[in-house]
Structure formats: C-alpha cells, structure tokens
Structure 1
Amino acid sequence: MFILDRILPFIFSYIRPFIKWFLHAFTRLSELQRICYGARAGASRTSQVERSLTLSKRTQIQRLVLDLDGAAPYVNNEELLEFAPRAARIVMQAKRIKHNVHPDFARLLGTCVTSIWGYRRLMHQVEQLRAEKYDSDNLDHEEKLLRLWQLLMPETPLTGRVTKQWQDIGFQGDDPKTDFRGMGMLGLENLLYFATAYNDAAKHVLLHSMHPTLGYTYAIVGINLTSMAFNLVKTGSAKTHFYNLVVQHRQDFSTVEDFHKLYCYLFFEFDRFWMESDPRNIMDFREIYQAFEITKLEALHNDSTIFKTNLAVESV
C-alpha cells in the first residue's frame, strides 16, 4: 500500500497533461472551467480549483499563486475580497477565456479564490494566537482568565488569583497560566468563547467532567481539543468543513470566530463521545481522544461534510 501511495501521484502527474489536453479538445473548456461549471459548490469545487491553480504550468498563474500566498496573512477583509477579480482577470487572460462567452466563470472562480486564501489567512491568524504566550502581567490576559471562571462558576467567587479552586474547572494546579504553554492564548480564547457563546452547553460539559467515575479535567481536555482543532486547520484537513461553511452560510471567507465554533463543536462532541465510551478512568483519555480524532478525520474525507454547531441542551 505504501509503494502504491508513492507511485500513484507520480503516474497521475505524468498523464495529467494528456488528460487535460483530451478533455479540452473534447469540451473546448479549460480545466478550471470544467471544475467551476461541473463540481458542486463548496469543498468539492473549491478543492479542485485550489489543486488546479497550484499545479498550473502557466507562468502568470504560478506568479499569481505565489503573490496571493505572500499577501494573504496580512490583508484586511476588503483587501482579501480584491483577490477574486485579480485572479479571475489573470486566469482568463492566461486561458484566453472571453467574458462575453463565459459570463459566469469569473464569479464562480472568484468565490473559490476568496475561500481558498481566506482559509490561508485563517491559518496565519490562528497560528498567531497559538504563538502568543499567556502573560500574567498582561491585564487583558488576566481579565479573560477571570472571566472564564465567572462564566463557568458564577455562584462561586474565587478566593484568590492563585488557588486550588482552578482545579474545579479542570486546570492542573493552583495557577492556570502554566497549562497554556502548548497552545498559548489560543487555548484560553477557545475556552472563553465556548463559555461565552454557548454558556449552557459549556456548563453542561463541565458538569459531566465532574462525574465521580466518568469525570475528566475540563480545562486540560479543552486545551487538548484546541490542539486538535489547530492541527486540523494546519494540515488542511479542516478545509472540507470551512469550504462548505462559507457556501452554506453565504460568507465570503472563514474567520477566527468560525475556528472558535469548530472548537466548540469538537468539545461538545468529545464530551458525548467520552461518556458513550464508558471509560474506566482518566487513564483511558489518550485512547479515546485518538479514536475521536480518527472519527473526525474520516468525516472530513467526505467532501460534503460540515460540522454544525448545534449545542442546545435540555438542562444543565
């Protein structure tokens, strides 16, 4: 199987030009046109457009991809929206596609372009949050941490900044700052977003984590799930979800808030998965965590997958 995985891409790269030539001769349409007109909107179309642009041998398109890659991490929303008409203009010139003959092509391609480089910008934004270390001397960081406690434990005031009470919501020691080392502020921002946007669901999960036999460390598990969400984005596995999301929600591109919502989905679903797995104790965490991750990766292999953040609970 390993040898086959190595050989097939080589074979495909060799015969791809012949396939493209044949299809162009038969349909009189370029590969990008065939994708935009024939593939379903969302991950199916956008992923194929991304692959076609990345593998293009046209110098103009290669330069376009490099330029957009370089600019994407630093552009604002308005500048990101300018990627679409620029890409459509360059591609249509390179492929000799006439707008009056194919009036829908620029729009269809542009939608994919905005989604592709919106995702690449999101990767950068999420990495920036992960790289930002928790600083107890930073008032904004401290306020967010205290806000997390207030949202999860509104009836129980903290007795101090450094206290064993933090273990009640699943931190390892008396000072939570040490638990954010791996995921930085991204871990705290995720936990805080879950507790803010879906407070009932977050407290529902927290209650499960306190179960006398099936319990787990809420905050630590939450930070582990931040790592899972981050890796899904970094490796590109999450493209399926985000490319479908922008189409379903009629957005132009994915945002950091969309990443937070993916995290909330993963946390809520992991809690369900954990309880249904009936673990012997917390020592089963790694095995159950890995099994859960596999189920999500398998789901993302289906180009119609979108993880819906429906976190309503009947009671807390």
Structure 2
Amino acid sequence: MLRLSLRMFGLVWVTVYWWVRPMVKWLLRRTTGLCELQRVCYGEQRGAQRTQGVGRTPEIQKCMKYIDGKCQERTLNQELIYYVVFAIVKIKKINTQAHKGFSDVLGQCLTQIWGFRQLSAEVEAKRREMYDPANPQHEEKLKALWELMMPDTQLEARVTKQWQMIGFQGDDPQTDFRGMGVLGLENLLFFAEHHTSAARHVLARSLHPTWGYSFAIVGINITHLAYSLLQSGAAKTHFYNASKRFLELRAFHQFYCHLFFSFDEMWRQEKPKDIMEFSRIRDKFEAQVKLKLKNPLAFFKCNFVLENV
C-alpha cells in the first residue's frame, strides 16, 4: 500500500512539474531578462556544477543526437562547438553586446560535455582493440613497460616467466589483456612512463610477502573500474573539473593513475589476509570512489606521496 501511494505521489509530482515548469521559466525570463541557459551559466560555479546544469537544458538536449554522432565518430572539433554556440545565441535572441561573456562560458561547457562523450568513444575504441603480438607498436609498448618497471633486469625472451615479476599471470602478457584490450596496456605504460617513481613504488609494495598482489593484473582490473566509471557517466564531475579544453586520452590515463595509487593505499590499510580478499576490497574502493564523484567539486589529482614500502 505504501509503495502504491509513493508511486501515485511520484506520478502526480511529475505531472505537476511538467505543467508548471514552462510557467516558471516564463516568469523567470520576464523578471530576470535571462533565458534558462544564461541563468545556469551566470548562476552556477564554474566546472561540473555549471556544465551539468547546461547539459540538462532543453536547448542542449536537442543538440545531443547530432553532436553525439560526431563524438562516436571522433570527429568533433572546436569549430563545431562555435557553430552550436552561434546558433543558440541567434535562436534565443541573446544580446551578445550586453552579455559579452556568455558565448565563451557556454562554449566552455559544451566543450566539456561533448569532449567527455568523445573521450568515452576513444576509450571504448582502445578497449576494443585487442593486443596483437604481430603488431610492432603493441610489442614496443609492452617492452617499454618492462624496461620502465624493471630497469636493472634484462628481459630474457618475449615469452618468459619473468613477466610474473611485474604481476602478469603467465609467461605471455598477451592473454591478460583480453578483457581490456590495448587500453589495459596503455594505462600501465602511462603510469610507468609519466609517474615512474609512483609506479615502481606501487610495484614494490605489491611484492610484500604478506600483503602482496599481482601488480599488472590489479592494474588491468583498475582499468576496468576507470572504464566503467567513464562509460556510466559517474566520472563526469572529475573530468568536467579537470579541464576547460577538449579532453584527450591523457586525461583518462591520469584518472587511472590516481585510482591505481589510491587502491594500493587502501589495500595496505585493509591488511588483507590473502589475495582472496581482493573482491571485497575492490568493491569497497569502488563505493568510496563513486561517493567522492558525487561531490560536484570532485577532482582527482596525481599528487603522489610515497611512503615506506
């Protein structure tokens, strides 16, 4: 009975909302002289709060279908964003002389909205690209990962048990990239190349006799987490706060590095009895990350503090 009452209340509220909303918008337009887009652009704090508000407006929702196609094709550019801003200004009859900063603010928001969607498409393409040992670029990246993580140890062969030293399951890392494709490799390589000290630090901690884990395998698992947060939209707050320009793949790699380093810290704090506790700790970590991302000011920086192994 209670569920039925709540459902009825919800239906009534939605109905009233859609009837009243146009009247409220009209009243606000008359009293403030500003359209809904202007009120959001001027009234919300820069970053995720403003951009998410802009993304919810009817004007931008109408543009979504066409622009989303460009994002999926990864052909979106700044020129197209300028065209959309120009069209909105004309349709809404906004006086750009009286509101000189509006076009720039709206342009930044649209750059973040569709830059995020284009980044999602690019990450998806990397995930779908399977590791191919016949591809020289793939092989070079794998070799570079070894050299960065194990600078004092010569790799004896392409297929060797040595790979287990940096946390792969078997003799050939190729098999471990099946789930996340080349994306898993590029995440690990970026961490090793751009945050070398932090990556080696995490590797050293992963070799702990009591609280150890497989560095590369866990790294690929973190790739899956970062990918899921991106594709679900849960990570929008971070990415909207991270950049005013078009998001590049580097932004996703940085997000991944923060997650991997943070997971290692939680793993050590939890003091697991063995690797069988991985799922529990990973789920707890994911829940904490999602909670942090609900904060409109969320921004995960890669300011790593290296503590004792």
Same fold (TM over 0.5): yes
Tell me the distance in 2 between the aligned counterparts of 1:25 and 1:286.
55
Local SS of the residue matching 1:29: coil
The residue type paired with residue 35 of structure 2 is S
| Change in CA separation of 1:314 and 1:284 when aligned onto 2, cut-off 3 Å | closer
The residue type paired with residue 26 of structure 1 is T
The answer for the alignment partner of 1:172 in structure 2 is 169
CA contact (8 A) 1:88 1:109 kept: yes
Tell me the distance in 1 between the aligned counterparts of 2:298 and 2:3.
27
Q: 1:298 aligns with which of 272, 291, 302?
A: 291
The answer for the alignment partner of 2:70 in structure 1 is 71
Matched, 1:7 2:3: no
Shift of residue 295 of structure 1? Answer: 0.7
1:20-99, aligned counterparts within 5 Å? 20-52=25-57, 55-56=58-59, 64-75=63-74, 80-99=77-96
Local SS of the residue matching 2:56: helix
Shift of residue 170 of structure 1? Answer: 0.9
Shift of residue 159 of structure 1? Answer: 2.0
Local SS of the residue matching 1:110: helix
- TM-superposition CA deviations, 1:254-301 (whole Å, max 9, x none): 110011000000000000011001111101100100110111100110
What RMSD, in angstroms, separates the aligned Cα atoms of the two structures? 2.2
Tell me the distance in 1 between the aligned counterparts of 2:85 and 2:152.
56
The residue type paired with residue 240 of structure 1 is T
1:1-316, aligned counterparts within 5 Å? 7=10, 10=14, 12-52=17-57, 55-56=58-59, 64-75=63-74, 80-246=77-243, 251-313=244-306
Tell me the distance in 2 between the aligned counterparts of 1:206 and 1:28.
58
Tell me the distance in 2 between the aligned counterparts of 1:140 and 1:282.
33
| Change in CA separation of 1:136 and 1:75 when aligned onto 2, cut-off 3 Å | closer
Shift of residue 62 of structure 1? Answer: 5.7
The residue type paired with residue 249 of structure 2 is V
Tell me the distance in 2 between the aligned counterparts of 1:65 and 1:221.
36
Q: Gaps (5+ residues) in structure 1?
A: none
CA contact (8 A) 1:83 1:114 kept: no
CA contact (8 A) 1:115 1:253 kept: yes
CA contact (8 A) 2:55 2:61 kept: no
TM-score normalised by L of structure 1 = 0.90
CA contact (8 A) 1:273 1:292 kept: yes
Q: Identical aligned pairs, as a percentage?
A: 47
